[in-house]
Amino acid sequence: MELPEKLRVNLKDEILFGETTGIPTGGRPIQIGLDDLSPRPTQGFECIDGLDLFRANKLMVDVFVPFSIYRGNEPKTSYGVAKNTDFLQKLKICQRISGSTLKYHVHGYHHSASRNNANHEFFECTPSTIKLTLQALKTDIEKVEREGIDFHHGPDKDKLCFRPPGWKINQAAVDLLQEFDYTHLSLLERYKDEGEYDLDFGDLTLHWCNAAPPDVEFPKDKTTPLSVTYHAATWLNNNLDLNNALGLLTEASNSEILLPFSVINL
Ligand SMILES: [Zn+2]
């Protein structure tokens, strides 16, 4: 898609990364997340038109996948990623055409802790349940990676990022993530500011999301690093349709130089 010139964001050819943060320096860092991409109808590839627009502008997108999402009384195994060949094929094609501008990460297993759609499966559940969930995830990630779809990143394929459903996580889950070799954890800045994360994160590298328009607006200070999240969900205002994607490009065009980064920068 050819964009009007005014919507083309200004990217710097050579991105310089901060030595301790891994975040680019010398311009306005921008990170884009897409949550909940799954085989579940209304939460799949039918509602992410904005991805094409980001790709055309060479912006990176971190895609967070729940491996077996269910809602309400749906069977828990209806939308398993690892067994859905059509969805796996789409993930693979999307990875191939996006190249280094797209990375897949882990966004929970059922994305639910109960039939009433409580999202907090890494917050409300017991340590033993969380351990079983992480074991199920490990098995499915191995299956999906055998299909050529990468969830581990970096030159040694040893970087693995987790974003908890509903952004909520407890200490047992944080400890268990490290036991299961996760290296990065992506959380919500507003919850940090509200004191929700009084936790020992150990060796995990943390990433903070600070916008989810239109529900959580872009930071008022236009020099603040921008970490914005969208959802693959047709019924949400925050879905990744063209309108929301154009909103981000317009926001980004206010920045003189834009430095795209991923939650795992290597
Ligand atoms: Zn989610």
Residues 210-228 have a mean pLDDT of 93
pLDDT score, position 5: 58
Whether 134 is covered by a domain: the verdict is yes
pLDDT tens-digit map of 118-131: 889 999 899 999 99
CA of 105 to the centre of ligand 1 (A): 12
CA of 166 to the centre of ligand 1 (A): 6
Task: Give 16 or 227, the one with higher predicted confidence.
Answer: 227
pLDDT band at 134 (very low <50, low <70, confident <90, very high): very high
Percent of the chain with pLDDT over 90: 72
CA of 125 to the centre of ligand 1 (A): 16
Model confidence at 114: pLDDT above 70: yes
pLDDT tens-digit map of 180-200: 999 999 999 999 999 999 999
CA of 16 to the centre of ligand 1 (A): 31
CA of 11 to the centre of ligand 1 (A): 29
pLDDT tens-digit map of 2-48: 555 556 677 776 677 776 677 777 788 999 999 999 999 999 998 88
Tally of structural domains, the chain: 1
CA of 255 to the centre of ligand 1 (A): 29
Whether 143 is covered by a domain: the verdict is yes
Domain that holds residue 128: 30-260
For the ranges 21-30, 80-89, 206-215, 218-227, the lowest mean pLDDT is seen at 21-30
Whether 21 is covered by a domain: the verdict is no
Whether 81 is covered by a domain: the verdict is yes
CA of 234 to the centre of ligand 1 (A): 13
Tokens 């309400």 -> residue:
72
| CATH value at residue 72 | 3.20.20.370
CA of 61 to the centre of ligand 1 (A): 15
Whether 7 is covered by a domain: the verdict is no
pLDDT score, position 8: 66
Whether 14 is covered by a domain: the verdict is no
Q: What is the mean pLDDT of the chain?
A: 91
CA of 35 to the centre of ligand 1 (A): 5
Q: Which of 51, 162, 183 is nearest to 105 (CA)?
A: 162
Q: Which of 168, 173, 165, 227 is nearest to 204 (CA)?
A: 173
Whether 170 is covered by a domain: the verdict is yes
pLDDT tens-digit map of 136-181: 999 999 999 999 999 999 999 999 999 999 999 999 999 999 999 9
> Cα dihedral angle (230, 162, 100, 29), rounded to 10 degrees?
60
Strands 79-80 and 184-188: unpaired
CA of 36 to the centre of ligand 1 (A): 5
CA of 47 to the centre of ligand 1 (A): 15
Q: Do the Cβ atoms of 197 and 3 come closer than 8 Å?
A: no
pLDDT tens-digit map of 231-259: 999 999 999 999 999 999 999 887 878 88
pLDDT score, position 259: 87
pLDDT score, position 266: 54
Whether 100 is covered by a domain: the verdict is yes
Return the ∠ at Cα 94 (arms to 67 and 31), rounded to 5°.
80
